[in-house]
Amino acid sequence: MNFNFTPFPVLETERLTLRALNLNDAKAIFGLRTNKEVNEFIDRKTPKNLSEARAFIDLITNNTLNNKGVFWVLESKSNHLLIGTIGLRNFEDEENYAEVSYETHPDFQQSGFMDEALQAIINYAFENLDLKTIEAFTHKNNDASIALLEKYNFVLDPERKEEGFENNNSYRLAVSC
């Protein structure tokens, strides 16, 4: 699979613009990635300062430029606030596969924003990238994430585990033939 994310694939939903992450987002990304509620079910290194948030943005930008992943900011059309992120990564040629990951700021959870974003990403992945499978790893106690995945017919794969994250379960969605 040879992807080219240049120009960046900006996506639109009813209430969101899914756009590229940039250095102007450093403060919002810092707030999102250090939020205790957001991180309740995510095991990751949190940035300690804006410099580390900028380094994360640089990493994401480079991955996109090198076509190793694509990462969108969820920006509200009504107020232009960064309310979350969603991305595709860990592409595998043999299976036409990618992993999806996402997060929403608590102020915007339970508002249907991630529902809109995930639908757009599923459509993009299957229609534009010709992926056959999308996988999401989510914490076994993250009921909201599990409900969202199940809404879009992701199926629990109890045999598959994410290395180093024993509390995460795998949910897979395969394209309908």
Q: CB–CB of 105/38 below 8 Å?
A: yes
Mean pLDDT (whole number) for 126-142: 95
Residue type, 23: L
- Calpha distance 34→45 (Å, rounded): 9
- Average pLDDT, whole number, for the chain? 94
CATH architecture of 11-174: 3-Layer(aba) Sandwich (3.40)
Residue 43 neighbours by CB distance under 10 Å: 12
Model confidence over 101-125: pLDDT tens digits?
A: 999 999 999 999 999 999 999 999 9
- The more confident residue out of 164 and 44 is 44
β-bridge pairing 69-76 and 16-20: antiparallel
Cross-strand partners of 174: 133
In the chain, where are the structural domains located?
11-174
| Residue 162 banded pLDDT, cuts 50, 70, 90 | confident
- Calpha distance 136→37 (Å, rounded): 19
Model confidence over 71-95: pLDDT tens digits?
A: 999 999 999 999 999 999 999 988 8
